[in-house]
Amino acid sequence: MSWQKYDLTFRLLAPLHIGWRKTGNLMQTRGYVPGKNVWAALTARLTRATGQGADGQAYIAIGEEVQKYFRFTYLYPSLPNGDGYKTYYPWAAEFDYLFLDSYASAALNYDSQSAEEGLLHETEFIAPCTRTRQPVTLTGNIYVGNDLSAELQDWQQALPHLQFGGERGYGWGRVELIDCDKTEVIHSDSIQLLLKKSDSLLAHLATKSHHQAGVTGPIEPLIGWERDNKNGAAWKLSDKAVICYAPGSKVTTDSTFQIGPYGIWEAA
């Protein structure tokens, strides 16, 4: 299989919350959009475009096709910089100040005219504008395999309608497509990336050991809530945690990785 690479740029139109962890009453966000979130958003839009939006099995079938023929990088916040965009990573010193904000809310008890005890919470998000009033964009790449099925042919028409992350019912996570620029063609079954010594991982790196040679950084079990369309469309935690080095980890020697399903990197 060969892969066509595209450079993606989205304008963030609303707050973006990518669930990470809870600290006190603060629901923290990740500072990026993981590949799995991009996969989920594209799968949802393509499924609805076929008129099967109420069919849970259709989401499974199209999701498997998207997983087979698409590879994603993580999307990171960026700001206009001359003719292009400058990407900012969560491990940069200025990231939190520029991009992060939060929204506090509480469940109300109307009988006592007060907030329900213990239900005050704060949701952190990537803001659509920085504290310096610059519009925030999200940039990354998508790799598309050849011989797409009929359901996937119009994938580019789905991009302007994607919505990422949590709180989507309140309008969060809306984006506007700015660019989808075709670049290089990769004539290989796998998409490989070469990182130099001291470079940072830009995605989760799956590992079978907490002492993988050539990488140093925090270990994270990658797990989250998923729609169980096979058993009544209920929500459930991932069946299996993927043990990974977190984005921002450093490579200690020149290394080659490949992009796997959901944008998770693997040792090449």
Tens-place pLDDT, residues 197-225? 999 999 999 997 766 779 999 999 998 87
Query: Which of the 8 DSSP states describes residue 239?
Result: S
Q: Tell me the pLDDT tens digit for each residue of 3-26.
A: 999 999 999 999 999 999 998 889
Q: Tell me the pLDDT tens digit for each residue of 154-192.
A: 999 999 999 999 999 999 999 999 999 999 999 999 999
Q: Tell me the pLDDT tens digit for each residue of 108-159.
A: 766 666 666 667 789 999 999 999 999 999 999 999 999 898 889 999 999 9
- On the question of pLDDT at 233 being above 70, the answer is no
When pLDDT is cut at 50, 70 and 90, the band that residue 63 belongs to is: very high
The first and second tokens of residue 91, run together, are 């491990």
Q: What is the pLDDT of residue 206?
A: 95
Q: Which of 268, 249, 97, 132 is closest to 192 using CA atoms?
A: 268
Q: Tell me the pLDDT tens digit for each residue of 41-56.
A: 999 999 999 998 888 8
Q: Which of 3, 12, 4, 2 is closest to 162 using CA atoms?
A: 12
Q: Is the dihedral of CA 224, 242, 12, 3 positive or negative?
A: negative
- On the question of pLDDT at 100 being above 70, the answer is yes
Provide, rounded to the nearest whole percent, the portion of the chain with pLDDT above 90: 76
In 110-174, which ranges are E strands?
Answer: 114-126, 137-145
What is the Cα–Cα distance from 124 to 22, expressed in whole angstroms?
10
Average of per-residue pLDDT values in the chain: 92
**Which residue carries 């400058």 as its tokens?**
86
The first and second tokens of residue 89, run together, are 């990573």
> Who has greater pLDDT, 105 or 140?
140
| CATH topology classification for 3-188 | Alpha-Beta Plaits (3.30.70)
Judge whether 253 and 198 are in contact, CB under 8 Å: no
- On the question of pLDDT at 230 being above 80, the answer is no
When pLDDT is cut at 50, 70 and 90, the band that residue 89 belongs to is: very high
- Helical H segments across the chain, by residue range: 35-49, 56-69, 95-99, 155-158
The first and second tokens of residue 197, run together, are 């010594």
In the chain, what are the domain boundaries? 3-188, 190-268
